[in-house]
Amino acid sequence: MAGFTYATLTTAIQDYTEVGTNVFTATITDQFIMNAEYKIAYDIPMDADRFVDEGTMAANVNNVRVPGETLFVRGVEVFNATNTTEQGFWLEKRDQTFLSEYIGRLTGPEGSQAGQNVTGTPKYYAMFGGATGVTDTTSGSIYLAPTPDVNYNFRIYYNSLPQALTTGNTTTYISQYFPQGLLYACLIEAYGFLKGPQDMLTLYTQKYTQELQKFAAMQIGRRRRDDYTDGTIRIPIESAPQ
């Protein structure tokens, strides 16, 4: 299908900038591509980066690990049954300070139990912690309140870091479905590295912004609706004055 491969994208970067491999080595070009991929992922959440992770909570443990390379969690579903085939329920996301206050209210302001975890069916969750090294297999944890009283099963719905375009992974969703945006984002990195010309940097920044708006209209607009549920999109056209 149409789009860029790793090889054609690196060639396009050199052609547009008129700079060869004596300056744009593979290491430098790979950095351009990685920075561009992260820029796009941060600018617009894509369906291609949506994943689901399943696991089991440990009784009397008030946290679970988030999958590695998680950008953000979209929801946490918990199941009462010993499997995930029955109807689950959704936890409400709050700040960790809210969960601490909530637990404190359950235990009461007095006595030795004040501030301790209370076990039961989880109702709230909060994010804390994060990856600290390139070898980390998690991206922090989810703090639960109340602390699970049994081994509930769960699903974490999250967006992951973008798949990297490399010599070993020659195509990605972005390179195939948003090639123009990927190219412009790479050229922004390239002209920033070259420290000019400023007018070219401005040009490709504007082009990237324009293409991103179109891509966003598809990713978080048309892909999140259908004609049956939401109706067909109609654009009003003003009639000519009589």
For residues 90-97, average pLDDT: 94
Percentage of residues of the chain with pLDDT beyond 90: 64
Report the alpha-carbon distance of residue 85 to residue 40 in Å, rounded.
35
Q: How many domains does the chain have?
A: 2
The last residue of a domain, from among 160, 186, 215: 160
- Report if residue 237 sits inside a domain: no
Do 156 and 124 share a structural domain? yes
Q: What is the pLDDT of residue 237?
A: 75
> Is 81 in the same domain as 154?
yes
Q: Is residue 77 domain-shared with residue 150, that is, in the same domain? A: yes
Judge if 129 and 150 occupy the same domain: yes
Burial annotation 61-83 (CB, 10 A radius, 16+ → b, else e)? ebbbbbbebbbebeebbbbeeee
What are the backbone dihedrals phi and psi of residue 46, each rounded to the nearest 5 degrees, phi first? -105, 145
Cα distances from 68 to residues 58, 61, 115, 202, in angstroms, run 19, 20, 30, 35
The answer to whether residue 1 scores a pLDDT higher than 70 is no
Q: Is 13 domain-assigned?
A: yes
Residue 143 contacts residue 63 (beta carbons within 8 Å): yes
| The pLDDT of residue 128 | 86
In a domain, 170, yes or no: yes
CA distances to 52, 69, 130, 131 from 134, in Å: 22, 10, 12, 8
pLDDT for 169: 93
User: Does any domain span residue 230?
Assistant: no
Position 41 scores a pLDDT of 92
What's the pLDDT score for residue 231?
76
Q: What angle do CA 64, 70, 73 make, to 5 degrees?
A: 65
Q: Say if residue 54 is in the same domain as residue 21.
A: no
pLDDT class for 81, splitting at 50, 70, 90?
A: low
Task: Say if 124 falls within a structural domain.
Answer: yes
Do 53 and 42 share a structural domain? no
Same domain assignment for residues 167 and 155? no
Structural domain harbouring 192: 6-46+163-224
**In this structure, are 151 and 192 located in the same domain?**
no
Q: What is the pTM of this model?
A: 0.81
Say if residue 55 is in the same domain as residue 146: yes
